[in-house]
Structure formats: C-alpha cells, structure tokens
Amino acid sequence: MEKFPWWNEAQKALADEVDAFSDEITPKAQELVWKREFPWEIIREVGKRGWFGAVIPEEYGGKKSEWGYTGCCIILEYLSRAGIAVACPYLLTMCGGTHQIEDFSPPEKKEEWLPRIARGELLGAVGLTEPYVGSDAASVETVARREGDEYVISGKKRFITSGLSADIYVVYARTSDDPKDIAKYRHITAFIVERGTEGFHVEKVNELIGFDNLYNAYLDLDEVRVPVENRLGEEGDGWKVMMSGLNFERTMTAASMLGLMREALRYAVFHSERRIQFGQPTINIGVNQFKIADMVWIFNTARLLTYHAAHVLDLGGTAAAEAATAKMFTTEFGMKMFLDAVQVMGGDGVTRFYPVESYIRDTKIMQIAAGTNEIMKLIIFSQGLRALRKYIPPPVRKVHPELRVPITVAFGSLRDEEKRKVEGEEDVLRALAENYKVNPGLAMTLDDMKGVLAADDETLTRMLTALEEKKLVKTFKDKKGQIRLARITLEGLKKTLTLEECKWIPSWVLEKDVF
C-alpha cells in the first residue's frame, strides 16, 4: 500500500514487513476462525518480532522513537488484513496497559511491565464498561477502597474484549462519592489488575454478532486486592487516564478497519472480474463499477484520516477530534464498503466461505466499541468545532447603501475606527435594529454586538437590562443568569426603524401589486 510522505524510513520498512507477515499468516488465521480458536500462535509471533514495542520507549525495549503511534497504526492496518481476531489483541494491549503504564505508572512498574509487553509476554485489556454503565463512563459503579498499602476492588465489568486472553487489565473504579470530586471528575481511579489475582474471575463469555474467535467477557472483581503501586497516576486521576487512552484507542480502532477495507476491495474486484452474467464479467456492469468506485474513495479517505490522527499523536497533540473523526468515518463508511462488497459478490458474498460477510458483523461491534459513533459525533461537535472557531468567525452584515440588500462587510468584527461609539441605550437598540434588517430571525451575542459597537460586556449588559425593562429588547440568559443573546422586540423596532427603512421590493415586482 501507499506509504505516506511523512512516514520515516523505519515506518516504511515496518509496513513492508507486516504486510508480508499478514500474507503468510492469513491461511492459519482463517483456519482458526472456522475452528473458533484464539490465535495464540500468531500473537506470540507478533511479540517475537517486537511489534508490541511500537509505542514503548527504547529504554524499556521498545521502538517508540522509530515507530511511534504511526507505526502502531501501520501494524494494525496490515495485521487486520488477516482478520479482526489478529488485530484486536494487539490493539487492546496497546490501549489496555501499554499507554497507561508508560504515562502514569511509577518507574519500578514501568521497568517490570513495559519490557515484557514489548516482548509480547503480556497482553492487555480495558475494564471500563459495566452492566449498568456504558457511554456514561463517569458513572462507574465498581468501587475501590484504600486499606493501607492496598486497594480493595469490588464490582463487575462486561463486554471486555480479550477478557480471557489478557494478562493485565486497566480497571476503572470509583474511589470517592464526594459531590465536589464528582463535579471535577476526581472520583475515579485507574488500576492495573493482574490475571490470577485472588477474587478476579471470568463470570461469563459473550456470544457476539462478530469477533468469532475473540474472547469477550463479563469479569467479576470480588474484594480484589491490588498494591498501591498498581495504581495509575494519583487517586482521582482515573478520568485523565481514561481520556488519554481513548484518543489513542479510537485512532487504533480506525487503523484496524483499514485492513478489512483492503481485503473487501480485494474480494469484490476478484469476484466481479471472474463472475459472468448476461454474457460479460459483472465488473463491466455500471452499478458494480459505481460500488467499487465508492469502495476506493472510502478506503483512501479512511487511510488519510487515520494516519493524520496518528501523526497528531506523534507530534504530542491530543487528537481528540481527529481520532473521533477517523474512528467514526472508518466504521460508518467501512460498513457501507462491506455491504457494497457483498452486493457486488451477490450470493457468494453472504456465505461464510468468503470473509467479507464477517467484516460486516465485526464492524457493527466496532461502531459501538471505543465509544459509540454517536459519542464520536458529540466529541467532533465540541472539540472539532472548538478547533475551527478561529477560522469561522461570524460574518458582520450590513445593508448595501445602493442595492439595499444585506452583504457581508467583515468577519468577526469591524475595524475599531468603524465601530459605533456607545453614548446611550439608543446606540445599542440601533445595532439590534440593524441586525433585524440583515438577520431578521437571529438574535445577537455580546461578541456580535462588540463587533459593531465600541463597548465592553459590562456596558452592554447594563444597557440591555435597562432596555429589556422597557420592553424594547428581549434577552436570553444562561444557567448563571448571564446575558448570552439579545434581540429587538416589536416595540423596539417601532421606536427605532420606519417601515420605509425596512422595505425592499425587487424591481420585477409590479408596482400595482404592492400595498
């Protein structure tokens, strides 16, 4: 596959190596799906090749400076070609221990765990979701109480992928019920719970729509004792630990979809070039060409979005919006791509003798895992819009003196010398009246007003309050009682504008029809 120009030479070489490995292991991986056996042998080989060390610093046996987050995504893209059961144990280890240990564990624990992860000796999992807690991650009910040099954890976790195959689990538990801590998201703490710890058991293994030979489980924690040094960060840092890991997890989820996309395209093209209907290969039929064209642009766009998010992480950014965008795009449009591939393949596409139908089932899980795609949209709305705000300041609109229609004269605000001086309430009322002429259904924010008036928030608030008392203005306040929006009332308009000032009749309208 194309190697992006910002990849370093080590990352490009890594891509070739993992791609060749995926070709080699695909027969075994497909065999294990039919047998419903976890791919232990393949995962051990991934460990021997050092790929679990992609984001682990060199002093702990990793290759972070060479591969980093981009390298981690490269490994996942090419591993997932052999199936999601090969990719997920790697993904879960990266975001279910590796990242959190590196950033939040004490030095002695880094020395104990990270080299073993880098060698593939420890697999990881995330213990976040609970029977009664899903997207509302702040409401975890698993509790941890401090007893001397230990924490005692009790609760249940569910839908834990790699639930039976992991050696270390990042478990989130409530350590405070203080409303002040809850308000500041300081009521959750993260821990590493090791397999085999007394009181830590599998409760149930889930049968899912997909993930055919992956372990997904309910886990029970019954008075599980973990040493204080297994805590990630300080007590109450759990939310910070969680958020730092989720952006990485979402980027990797996107990367794991890329291999499935490539294989879906492979099978759709392979099949349609060889299937004869109506005297010709089905790839010659226009509707199939359109579907394959969609698959191509979806795949190419998905790779760009994913590796952009990984690059932002490598540069030290949080990549919140980028990761959410990549995860949502790859799973939403990945689903379209796989449905189209099945449709191109016809009846063969819905048999289990080709792997494409499994991509549909696996992707439905991926649309929910690592935060549902609805949650992704909320993140994109808040974080993505925040990042774009400086590039989309509101337009300042005025009535053109000759054309008498609204036009945009500035973005954000007028130059200081162009702003009207505020000498009294009538100046504020006039600004609201002029806004009615150009944006008749819209109120103004205080920033909008400051864009055309030489006034500060305090002055505007005082004058708007006085105008509202006179019923000339209507304001809209936030929960703290602060004015956020204001518009002129009908009484205010009558006091400020004449009908002639508001009128605009196009030239094509017959004069006899105007009343």
Q: Which residues are catalytic?
A: 249
Token pair 């807690």 in the structure block, residue: 133
| Helices 68-79 + 238-272 axis angle, to 10 | 40
**Contacts for 72 with CB less than 8 Å, ≥ 6 apart:** 54, 55, 94, 252, 255, 310
The answer to whether the CB of 71 falls within 8 A of the CB of 250 is no
DSSP annotation string for 222-265: EEEEEEGGGEESSTT-HHHHHHHHHHHHHHHHHHHHHHHHHHHH
Q: How far apart are alpha carbons 58 and 118 in whole angstroms?
A: 10
Distance of alpha carbon 303 from alpha carbon 313, whole angstroms: 15
Q: What are phi and psi of 334, to 5 degrees?
A: -60, -40
Q: Which of 432, 421, 450, 444 is nearest to 495 (CA)?
A: 432
Residues 221 and 145: their CA atoms lie apart, in Å, by: 13
Asked whether the CA dihedral 91, 96, 101, 104 is positive or negative, the reply is positive
Length of the chain, in residues: 515
Distances (CA, A) of 85 to 40, 81, 160, 260: 10, 10, 14, 11
* Burial of 137 from C-beta contacts in 10 A (0-12 / 13-18 / 19+): buried
| β pairing state of 473-477 and 483-488 | antiparallel
Here the tokens at position 345 are: 């393949």
Nearest Cα to 255, choosing from 383, 39, 94?
A: 94
